[in-house]
Amino acid sequence: MLVLLAVMAAFVGSALIYNMSIHTVPAMSETQETDEKYPAVPILMYHSVCNNEKVNSDYRISPEMFESDMKYLFENGYTAIYVGDLVGYVYEGMPLPDKPVIITLDDGYLNNSTYVLPILEKYDMCATVSVVGEFIAEAEREKDPNPKYAYLTWQDIRTLEDSGRIEIGNHTNAMHEIGERRGCMKIVGESDDGYDKALSSDLTALQNSLTEKSGITPIVFTYPFGFVSEESLPIVKKLGFLAALTCYERINYIDGTRDQLYRLGRFNRAPGLSTEQFMKKVGI
């Protein structure tokens, strides 16, 4: 943690409702050269982890399936790391385990605490949970802690962080939707200055709320729906984020360049595959 704080300080000093069925991988493609001399870091992407027979979605799996995945990783010698550990490797040369893997959960569902955390503890894993400001506000307003659909509150987020198993990421404050603006992408015809102000205002709002209400200031940004625009990159960097998660399905071969941290690929965990099939797809 001290190393990460030092990295953040150096970086800043130098630079400074939702429908799960509409989750979309960006149309734009991006390739990365496979080079086995670099560490391979697969990133798994989960969302809601809860039994709900009324919901058929590529973004909801059962706790039993999640446990099967974690057991597979554990038994095959994989060590879960935070995105922050990857930042530490690139910025400070911190060592990575022999078989690293990153587990991520998007949107900040309450079941990430109810079901996911105990399973992570059981198999000595950790994860990065990216939260949405509007969803947290909904949880605070509704006060209905049903793990089938509820989101994390500010206190829930603090509790997850305190567990030592969870790293919190910023998934935008109010841009997790598809309308005129697709996620946090630039709107057609929007000026550069207008886009800078809109995205900066949104991300800063959630950063400030997390700091004030949960005592956490994320260094990880997660693109809503995986929609990435080139115009967002300098803004994300300017705001002090040291890494960004996309939905490009690829293994990350970490070559040590800092810009690579802003285009980290991930594999979505849909319920239609067995653990063995999914892990084969991921390259594990």
Rounded to whole angstroms, how far apart are CA atoms 252 and 274? 23
Q: Are 105 and 245 in contact (CB under 8 A)?
A: no
Could you give all domains of the chain from N- to C-terminal order, each with its CATH number?
Answer: 39-51+61-282 (3.20.20.370)
Print pLDDT tens along the chain (284 aa): 434 444 444 433 333 333 333 344 343 334 445 567 899 999 999 999 999 766 668 899 999 999 999 999 999 999 999 999 999 999 999 999 999 999 999 999 999 999 999 999 999 999 999 999 999 999 999 999 999 999 999 999 999 999 999 999 999 999 999 889 989 999 999 999 999 999 999 999 999 999 999 999 999 999 999 889 899 999 999 999 999 999 999 999 999 999 999 999 999 999 999 999 999 999 99
Q: Which of 101, 126, 58, 117 is nearest to 264 (CA)?
A: 101
Give the number of other CB atoms < 10 A from CB of residue 25: 15
Give the number of other CB atoms < 10 A from CB of residue 178: 17
| 3-state SS assignment for residue 48 | strand
Q: What pTM did the predictor assign?
A: 0.87
**pLDDT tens-digit series, residues 15-66:** 333 333 334 434 333 444 556 789 999 999 999 999 976 666 889 999 999 9
Give the number of other CB atoms < 10 A from CB of residue 83: 27
Q: Are 119 and 66 in contact (CB under 8 A)?
A: yes
